[in-house]
A and B are shown apart, each in its own frame.
Chain A
Amino acid sequence: MNTNSMAINYDLNRKSWFSSLYGLREVLPGLLAMFFIAIFSNNLAGVPNPFTLENLFAWLDGVIGPLHHQSFFQIMNSNFVWNPLLLGLILGNVFGVPDCWKRGLSYIHMLMPLGIIMLAPHFMVGHAFKLGAAPILICTAFLFLTATVTLWVSRLLRLDDRHGSIIAGGLATGDPHACAILMPLIKAKGGQVVHATACVIVFGLIAMQLLPVLGEWVGIPPKYLGLASVVGVGNGSQALYAAFGGGYEAGRWATWFDVGRHVIMPAGFLYVFIVMFVRKLRRRNDPEVLATRGVKTFPVWLGVFVFLWVLACLHVFKEPAHHAVFAMVKWDFSLAAAALGLSLSFREIAGHGFKGFAVTCIAGLIRIALLLAAILVCVKTGLLPA
């Protein structure tokens, strides 16, 4: 039986929305697999389990010691998404995925919109107002510019548009999380998402070495080397590594400026989705246009996310509620990432080749060059006061 006939079967047996949850006996093994991968990957709220991958990495970080004031595994972007993904990937590839797990693992498609909607209170735009107009403008302009350049380079190199879109989202927002968030919107393959994430992280490793050298060479003051690191490298600890590489003052300023990149992150993935969705609507019959193929209208859950993001900006969710909701987000993404990891073979990820990395490097280097030029002009003209 193929996927189409399974869909017809579902339609025939469907009673309500809750039919997509199937029966408890069918989904229990898969849910338990996701649950155990999640609780052995991350320190999750309500679970007093010390034997987690997160704690193992923290212990290894203690052994390795700090690198420019950052932990090694933080530089490698270990977090509540990639830890369960890694564990799921290893388990799936070493032991395989039993058939009885598969109904339960399909909950990933409910968990993704659920988690993304609950992320909304995490992005309070008001937190960035302390930075002043010019740094906010630079963060915003380079978010859209990076996404546009990446999409353009991926088209130039004839990369699959789904893969290019995911890279654009991750690189523009400076957060590999955005790659996973874009997965249900772009209708990308799991292998493309993990490959794109790896591209963004590996390019970040190169950029964090390059940026402080170039910044000092062109004469960027330490304060704005912090801003350049946040916008030009991103990825949290990678940006801080780059800034501290340029000196302690630059590093301290990077922690100050990072909020500017962080709060506008949703604009980055919304922009990539809207660009690709409009492109698909204009070129419905083009077989090369695959991104957002299958998305017929603007997704309702994305509209709910935008609505809640506006509420967050109006400070409806205050700090304790925001933290409680984020603890639930960590649970949600841990379960979803476990299912994503189990769904992939190493060959599927590696099969996407070198082209995606080339797109990431070209777009990322263009961003660094334009960013340093823009900051230098702003410093010389007094738009960014020294």
Chain B
Amino acid sequence: MSRHPHTTDEHGFDFMANTGREEQDRDCLGILFALAVMACVTVSQYLGLL
């Protein structure tokens, strides 16, 4: 299998590959951080901090 010089490192890790359990974990963290940021900003607004 050919190695993509821009995305694959010497150990075979391809940073553009996103599958399986790893993909699910990244999605969960994305949701978690997004909700945290939005909740924080919205609550700040309702408390008159923005």
Interface set of A (CB-CB < 8 Å, partner B) = 1-3, 5-7, 10-11, 14, 16-21, 30, 92, 96-97, 99-100, 102-103, 105-106, 108-115, 117-118, 121, 184, 190, 294, 299-301, 304, 308, 316-318, 320-321, 324-325, 328, 339, 342-345
Contacts and interface: CB of A to CB of B under 8 A. Distances in A.
Contacts of B35: 117, 304
Given A113-B31, A299-B27, A321 B1 contact: no
A343 B15 contact: yes
Chain B interface category by residue count: 35 or more
Interface of B: 1, 5-23, 25-35, 37-38, 41-42, 44-45, 50
A10 B19 CA distance: 11
B15 A308 contact: no
Contact of B42 (A18, A184, A317, A344): A317
Which of A2, A17, A317, A345 has the most CB atoms of chain B within a 10 A radius of its CB?
Answer: A17
B29 A17 contact: yes
A47 B26 CA distance: 27
B17 to A, nearest CB: 5
B41 A324 contact: yes
A116 to B, nearest CB: 8
8 contacts: A6-B12, A6-B17, A7-B20, A106-B13, A113-B30, A114-B29, A118-B37, A304-B34
Contacts of A324: 41, 44-45, 50
B42 A300 contact: no
A354 B14 CA distance: 28
A117 B26 CA distance: 14
A14 B28 CA distance: 14
Given A321-B42, A325-B38, A114 B33 contact: yes
Given A110-B27, A325-B38, A345-B5, 20 more contacts: A6-B17, A7-B17, A10-B20, A14-B22, A16-B25, A97-B7, A100-B9, A102-B7, A102-B14, A110-B30, A113-B26, A114-B34, A121-B38, A304-B31, A317-B45, A318-B45, A321-B42, A325-B37, A328-B37, A339-B15
